Amino acid sequence: MNQSLIRCGWVNLNNPLYVQYHDHEWGVPCHDETRLFEMLNLEGAQAGLSWETVLNKRESYRAAFDQWDAEKIALYDERKVAQLMADPGIIRNRLKVAATIGNARAYLKLREELGGLDAYLWGHVDGQPVRNRWQSLADCPAKTPLSDAISKDLARRGFKFVGSTIIYAYLQGIGMINDHVQDCHCHGR
């Protein structure tokens, strides 16, 4: 990890996982269905918490939720929910766990109808990431008309924990929106 590189101000430089996420994932266009599904659920799990908290638990989430296999998650029963609620490696919030199961079911319907999250999401931007040119973190909005529209449509399709602010963070995380500030070494990629 190169400490001398300039990074966005939200990165905790003392957490190698966070630096790795900033440098190699955040703002990088993602088209992998499993990761798109994972990130949608992790962003929802983050509601009311810090992203760093969720990021630190990501590997535990992967193990707990069958490597984000939506077909398996959609079949979870009360016994599996009880197991998840006892797992200290994830955020043990009953509403968020239930949302993940419901999101798996909604995702499977979306995948059948539209081909998946990749086609659905990237269709909103004609396949091209939005590249913003913020001078500082303070310039970056919490939500936009794009996140409003996607949020509203996902909610209509049965997804939970998909408010506009959560969706904006999701779009940043999956690289549909590149909000690296201008002096960040990742801005130009």
Given the residues 38, 43, 76, 170, the one annotated as active site:
43
User: Helix-strand-coil percent breakdown of the chain, rounded to 5?
Assistant: 55, 0, 45
| Alpha helices (H) along 25-163 | 33-46, 51-56, 58-64, 70-73, 78-85, 94-114, 117-123, 145-156
Q: What is the Cα–Cα distance from 187 to 17, expressed in whole angstroms?
A: 19
Q: Phi/psi of residue 150, each to 5°?
A: -65, -40
76 is catalytic: no
Q: Following DSSP, what letter does each residue of 166-185 receive, concatenated?
A: HHHHHHHHTTSEE---TTST
Catalytic position from the list 51, 76, 120, 170 = 51
Examine the residue annotation and report whether 51 is marked as an active-site residue of this protein: yes
Catalytic: which of 21, 25, 33, 52?
21
Is-catalytic flag, 43? Answer: yes
> Catalytic positions, please?
21, 43, 51
